[in-house]
Structures are given as C-alpha cells and as structure tokens.
Structure 1
C-alpha cells in the first residue's frame, strides 16, 4: 500500500513550517501588543458543548468520536450494520461517544469563559491559535484540518473594541506586507433585513445559504431558499441587497431608508 496522508489533511515541509511559524509569530506579536492573552483548549470537547451552535448543516460536519469498544466485534456483517445505523441516527447510536473534535475556536472559548468566569477579569481579551477539524468533503481550499487564529473580547459592549480589532488586523497585514481591503459588516443589518421581510424564524438557515454565495451561484441558492419556504418577494428583497448593483454609499443610503429599528441600530454602529 502506498503511504499517504488522509484526505483533507496536509503535510508541511521544514521550509513551509518556518514560513507558517513566521506568519503565526507576526499575528501573535500584534495580538499581544493590543493586550490579548493566549489560551488553549483541548482538541476534544463534550458533544453537548458543540452541537446546536452551528445549525443543522454545521452539526453534521462535527467529527464525532466512536466508542473504543466497537473494534472488539469480529463480525464483519454486524460492523457494517452498526455503521449504517450510526449514519442514520448519529446522535442516538450507542457507538458514538459524548465527545467530539472541536469544529472552531469560538464555541470552546464560550465554554472556557463560562467554566472559569470567576477567575477571569472582564473585559477579557483572548487570542487562540490552534487546529480545528471539520468532517467536510475535501476540495480545493477546503480541508478537514486547518488552523484558526482567533482574537475576541468578551465582557464589554464598547464599539471601541470593534475599532481596535479592525486596526489590529490591518497591522497584521501591514507587517506581512500584504495589501488588503478590509470589509466591515454588522450582523444587526442582516438581522434587520431578514426581520423586515418577515423571515425571523429562518434566520440561521438564510445566513448559512448567504455564506455559500462565494462558492455557489445565485440561482442554486435561490432554489435552496425556496425549499426552506421563502417567497419570491422575500428572495428578491435579499438579493436586491446582495447583488452588488449599488456602491457602498448608495447601499448605505438605501438601507437607511428601510424602517427597521434593528437594521438602523446596525447602520449607526457602522457609522460610529
């Protein structure tokens, strides 16, 4: 058998590792200049901590851990039967443990803060650079194992922290001598748009479909929106904003004309 790494994973040569370390060290330097403190969390989290945080589609991409006793069965037909049962009802199988590999760094951070809240001084500025795993179909630019570099502030509502994060990221790219355009968004604007078309109960599903737009054509996304029950009117309103037919200033004026308090709060924060 030819030796090779698992699909969706990568090996890195000494030269590549040195380059990656240089980038990570550059990021760490800026994080620490702004007062962010490093933490680490285990690769394995309780399944109950992870599920229900990423939507149905995201939950399906969590790497769940099998019960170690499963391998003890010598009956091949029984193993195949049990495997199919796990695929049909993964959350109800006795062969799936209550543990899984972390999907991202955000949910473990929330668990960390909840667990150690009496030992943390707020506002708490943390950074975390560790690998994450997703049971995704490997394809170009999409891996089953990759490193995330998170920086978050918890315990304050000050918009100054948002400004600081933008400045921090800009400085990272400046240190790496990479010209970039930073695009600023506000989740409240999207919440207000979806609220305005009367689709609040489908918010998570709509956001996940919008996230696919950089990988899937608009017509395919519209078909999926139909399957979750959106009307033509609702889809037209969403895509009128997402189409890119207006420049930033025109879009801002258009959004300001929409009478929705959540949306207007988001716009005011962007204008901060």
Structure 2
C-alpha cells in the first residue's frame, strides 16, 4: 500500500479560497506600493551562500536553508573537516547556494549588480516567498511571503515618515484599525550600551533584547548575563524598557543618555519623525516609542519600526523595518543609504481571519454558471458565455449533462450567485433564464439583452 504523502513542517498547501484571500491582501499592498511610487523587482529564490552568510548575525545564519551541491557533494570535502564534524568548515565545502532568508539582502545585491541601470533614489517593492529553518508555530512558518518596500539613495528621514504613512494606508485599506507602530533607533540602543558599559556587546545586547516579547524580561536578563554583560549593567538598563509607560519618554531617555553623543543623535532623529507624524496625522494606526524594540538583524543602523496587530489579537509582529546606512557596502558599493519596511502577509492573513475582516464575496471565482441541458443547448450557451466574459463577468459552464439537482448543488457549494438556464424552450425562444440564488427570483432575458443583466451583476457587486 502506497505511503500517504506529506509536506515538510512549516509549509502549507493553499485551497482556492485561501489563495483568493492571500491575493486580496497582496493586491491591496501592491496597490498602495504603486500609489506611493514604488517599482516592482524580483530576485531568484536562491542566492550564492556567501551573499547571505554574515548579514543576519549568528542566529540568522543558523536559520538559512543551505542547498547541497549537485552530484557527489562529498567528493571535494576535506577529510579532516569530515572527521571533526565541524559544520563551520564543512558547510562551504558541500553547499554553495541557499534559499533566500529575506528580501533585503538580495535587494542590496541587486542594487550593486544593476547600479548603472538604476536611477537613484530608487524605490522598489517586492512580493515573494522567503525561507527560514525556524521552529514552526502559530504565525511562524518555514516558507512564507514577504512584501517589501525600500528606498535606496536617500538619507532624509522624510522616507521614514512616508513609510509609516504607507503602513497606515495599507492597514486602513484592509480594515485593520488601531494597529500599533512601535519605533526605536539603533543609535539609541548603541547609546544605552555605551552608558551601561557594554558597547563591545552591542550585537548580543540587541539580539537578546529583540526576544523580549517571546522569552520575557527574565529570559532576556538570563541571555544578557550569559553573553558577558554584567549584572550591574543589566540592572541599569532594564528600567528603560518600560519607558513607553511614562508621560514624557523622550525626556527620560535624553536624561539617561546625557553623556552619549550617538544616543542623543538617535533621540533627535526619532523625535523629528514622531513630531512630524503627529502633525500630519494618520488614518488609523497608532505610533509609540518602544526602547525594547531592537530588530535583531545586524544591518539596521538608524530608525527601526515594528507593527503589532490590534489589541486582543494573539499574534506577533505583522510588519517591521528600518534604516540601513551601508547595506550595499558589504558588496563593495559604499555610502548608499537605504530604508525599508516589510509586511508579513501570512500573519496579516491570520489576523484578518480572526477578526472576520475578509469581504464575503472574496472567494467568488464564478459569478454566473450556465446549466448543461445537452449538446444543442450548450452550443447556444457558448456565445452568450463569451459575451458575458467580454463584459468582465466571471462565467462558467457546467461541463457535463448531469441531473439539474446535482448542478444546482454544485452552484450552491461554490457560492455562485447566479445560475443561467437555457433549455429546450429557451433555445426555441432565444432567451436565457437567470436565477438569483440568494433571492430565489428569476428573470428571462433575450440573447440580445444580456448587457442589461451584466449591469445588474456589476451593481450588485458594488454594494
């Protein structure tokens, strides 16, 4: 007996209904991307391993899916490395490529390779899948889509303001009210590390801090201590991570970072962004300072942001991003500033599903189904079907001459709003009877009057 097939953990099949809902989200995001002046690009699903390694920190490197070299990949392996089972030495010998971990590093590689074809500043968007060898859990998958928007070649904080407005526009368009956009600045984090005497531990400091919502305060403290940050330094820093609860968080932060030039720079840049966002106003999102926000990826250098779902929804971040002043420098193109954000399509899907925010007709792949009464009737239906399709009405024909009861059941199961009946009598009279499945009413149209019916379908769809 054949073994029942399965799929890898952390991956999913999508039904037609699920694909329709995912397309609704990505189409909404894409529409706003283009309204804000971003252009589409795409990159390969896998990159050279050395393009990706070392760009995300040690933790990120461990989550990269490596691709074994084709053929006898053990043939060129150094015997000593094989016996030692040293992964750091072994991996480059058996793997030269890897599935992309995110869209930002491949985009930086793209910019460097195509710099002579690009007009800077360059605003690009990209909607493609990425892969991470993470532990699967709710809202966390090994294969998932990212929807990114980045601006390179512009170092003005106006770009951060625009990206916050972009977040606000997308989530408002999706009906997601009161999402929380949390802001911080890597220079502020550098200043904190400097003041507590842990500037040489900035990376482990930010990596641990980035896990606050996952492992809690005690877990973060434990990890900080394990990475060689003293208990005194931890005690000095921890009160700052509840700073959002205070009346004037910037004043508290400014006092703490009095002796840190880089920290004061971060405060000044972040205040510029928040004050102007407040002046401009947002449609529905809420913006706040969160000093515990770290965005553990190494390439961020300036303002960072993360979007949380509305209160009451159990979900991690549904978007995030920030400024990276020299990401292309890792590929030899120095001093090109960039800033970008990402939307977590899969998590947004789960949030919309939980809140019941998908339109009722979203999975309506057919608007009119013609019943099948036999070959002569079908041949009369086909020109009418073509007419409706030409007018933008999603129209189909039941493929076989089955019992009408079975055909109606099929239409009900597919939530098809209209059924067209063209039987022996209608063939003789050159008419077609259209039944409204929701109302139970029906009306006859001559073949030449189908344009009137098209208007009815359109008007119903706009309600």
How far, CA to CA, are the matches of 1:43 and 1:85 in structure 2? 32
Aligned with residue 101 of structure 1, among 99, 102, 117 = 99
- The corresponding residue for 1:223 is 222
How far, CA to CA, are the matches of 1:21 and 1:2 in structure 2? 30
- The corresponding residue for 2:209 is 210
CA separation of 1:149/1:91 partners in 2, compared to 1, >3 Å: closer, same or farther? Answer: farther
* Residues 127, 148 of structure 2: 8 Å contact kept: yes
| 1:163 aligns to 2:161 (yes or no) | yes
RMSD: 2.3
DSSP-derived class of the 1:151 partner: strand
* Residues 103, 133 of structure 1: 8 Å contact kept: yes
* Residues 61, 136 of structure 1: 8 Å contact kept: yes
- The corresponding residue for 1:266 is 266
Q: Larger strand proportion, structure 1 or 2?
A: 2
How far, CA to CA, are the matches of 1:22 and 1:193 in structure 2? 42
Gap regions ≥5 residues in structure 2: 273-463
Higher RCO, Cα 8 Å, sep 6+? 1
* 93-102 or 30-39: bigger deviation: 93-102
- The corresponding residue for 1:49 is 51
How far, CA to CA, are the matches of 1:252 and 1:156 in structure 2? 26
- The corresponding residue for 1:78 is none
* Residues 64, 96 of structure 1: 8 Å contact kept: no
How far, CA to CA, are the matches of 2:109 and 2:92 in structure 1? 25
- The corresponding residue for 2:31 is 29
DSSP-derived class of the 1:182 partner: strand
TM-score, normalised on structure 2? 0.54
CA separation of 1:85/1:6 partners in 2, compared to 1, >3 Å: closer, same or farther? Answer: farther
Gap regions ≥5 residues in structure 1: 74-80
CA separation of 1:91/1:98 partners in 2, compared to 1, >3 Å: closer, same or farther? Answer: farther
DSSP-derived class of the 2:215 partner: coil
- 1:1-272 correspondence to structure 2 within 5 Å: 1-70=3-72, 88-93=86-91, 96-179=94-177, 180-242=179-241, 244=242, 247=245, 249-257=247-255, 258-259=257-258, 260-272=260-272
- The corresponding residue for 1:76 is none
DSSP-derived class of the 1:218 partner: helix
Return the offset for 1:164: 0.5
How far, CA to CA, are the matches of 2:69 and 2:93 in structure 1? 5
CA separation of 1:187/1:94 partners in 2, compared to 1, >3 Å: closer, same or farther? Answer: closer
Return the offset for 1:141: 2.2
How far, CA to CA, are the matches of 1:85 and 1:133 in structure 2? 30
How far, CA to CA, are the matches of 1:253 and 1:202 in structure 2? 26
CA separation of 1:167/1:85 partners in 2, compared to 1, >3 Å: closer, same or farther? Answer: farther
DSSP-derived class of the 1:271 partner: helix
CA separation of 1:148/1:181 partners in 2, compared to 1, >3 Å: closer, same or farther? Answer: same
- For residues 138-183 of structure 1, the C-alpha deviation after alignment (integer angstroms, 9 at most, x for no partner) is 2232211111111111111111111100111100011011011222
* Residues 43, 106 of structure 2: 8 Å contact kept: yes
The number of residue pairs the alignment matches comes to 264
- For residues 174-221 of structure 1, the C-alpha deviation after alignment (integer angstroms, 9 at most, x for no partner) is 101101122222222112111222222221211111111111122122
* 178-187 or 33-42: bigger deviation: 178-187
How far, CA to CA, are the matches of 1:25 and 1:186 in structure 2? 31
- For residues 209-266 of structure 1, the C-alpha deviation after alignment (integer angstroms, 9 at most, x for no partner) is 1111111122122111111100012112332111x26525432111111211111111
How far, CA to CA, are the matches of 2:6 and 2:225 in structure 1? 42
* Residues 212, 219 of structure 2: 8 Å contact kept: no
Query: Which structure has the bigger radius of gyration?
Result: 2
TM-score, normalised on structure 1? 0.90
